[in-house]
Amino acid sequence: MKTTMPKRGKSKFQATKINPKRFHPVQIRYLAILLPVALVMLLPLIFIFNHAFKPFEELFAYPPTFFVKNATLANFRNLFALTGASGIPMSRYLFNSLVVTVLVIFISVIISTMAGYALSKLHFKGKKTINEINTIALMFVGVAVTIPRYLVIEKLGLIDQFFIHVLPYLAVPVGLFLVKQFIDQIPNELIDAARVDGANDFQIYGQIILPLIKPAIATIMILSFQTVWNSSDTSSTYINSDSLKTFAFYMGTLTTNTNAVAGQGMAAAASLIMFVPNLVIFIVMQSKVIDTMAHSGIK
């Protein structure tokens, strides 16, 4: 006797799309949790923008105010006036920071992606050792290697040279690790098919690997940008000439070289100038970063 199993109807969860294109009542429960969390996370951003436009009396008001009441551009005017009165204008510091940041991003992306491709898909002696060294490098922070780094740079004769802003940030262990993990997901059959068609390693790298790891490249760009743009260690440790120093270093001197109280307004304006590029680049590339962290480059 032939028996038939009863068909199961679709569950309520299966019938409802997790991420419908239009608003669905099921989203209310998630919005009720996520919106308050998002507002709390936005508070520091709102404060940075408000703080930069506060007049002197609001900066030191008690109790402190979160939102600016009488917005003013005096902090920005004082900032540009101070740099104009000194021997080196603020535009010089900004120019140095921009040049260094662009060079570091471009070169670090090339190095990380090439090394990631070699460690993932090529076979050579010492590959495992290099992988282990890169993994160990993830455990060290910049402060831990300050002294040996300074000794190496001094031996190379790069003290007070502009290129020293670039050299220490070219190797990005976190970026190399992410790129390698991303390239590991690319099927070996795809690489073998390209070799059968006569493609060499550089053609495979440029025409196959790079288009498939765009999320990982975006992540490296963000990591490199934030590290270089916000760092003043190189200027304070290896650079003696003020004309070669970066804007991050200059911002740190606003409350030390001037009156600590009077310099708070200029420091707030400079902090906003430093923060905006970080915000813009992350907003533009945040979807790529999420793809990288989820390792979803190849389905």
Non-local (6+) Cβ contacts of 229 within 8 A are 97, 101, 248, 274, 277, 278
**Per-position b or e across 134-170, b if 16+ CB within 10 A of its CB:** beeeeeeeeeeeeeebeeebeeeebeebeebbbbbbe
Mean pLDDT value across the chain:
80
Q: What is the pLDDT of residue 20?
A: 59
Closest C-alpha to 258, from 248, 249, 267: 267
The pTM for the full model equals 0.75
Query: Looking at residues 102-116, what average pLDDT do you find?
Result: 92
pLDDT digits (tens, 9 = 90+) for 133-189: 888 888 877 777 888 888 888 888 888 888 888 888 888 888 888 888 888 888 889
DSSP state of 68: -
As a whole number of Å, the CA-based R_g of the chain is 26
pLDDT at 33: 86
Q: How many residues in the chain?
A: 299
State the Cα torsion 60-66-67-69 to the nearest 10°: -30
pLDDT tens-digit series, residues 9-43: 444 444 445 555 666 677 788 788 888 888 888 88
Could you give the CA distance from residue 32 to residue 22 in angstroms, rounded to a whole number?
A: 17
**Calpha distance 250→229 (Å, rounded):** 12
Average pLDDT, integer, range 120-142: 86
Q: What is the pLDDT of residues 50-66, one digit of tens each?
A: 888 888 888 877 787 88
In the predicted structure, residue 99 carries a pLDDT above the cut 70 = yes
- pLDDT exceeds cutoff 80 at 203: yes
pLDDT in the model for residue 262: 62
Residue 106: pLDDT band (50, 70, 90) is: very high
Q: DSSP letters along 94-155, please?
A: HHHHHHHHHHHHHHHHHHHHHHHHHHHH---TTHHHHHHHHHHHTT--GGGGHHHHHHHHHH
Q: Peptide bond before 63: cis, by omega within 30 degrees of 0?
A: yes
CA distance 29 to 26: 6
Q: What is the CATH number of domain 89-244+288-293?
A: 1.10.3720.10
**Taking a C-beta distance cutoff of 8 angstroms, is the pair 292, 219 a contact?**
yes
Q: Are the C-beta atoms of residues 222 and 281 closer than 8 Å to each other? A: yes
pLDDT of residue 72: 85
Confidence of residue 1 (pLDDT cuts 50, 70, 90): very low
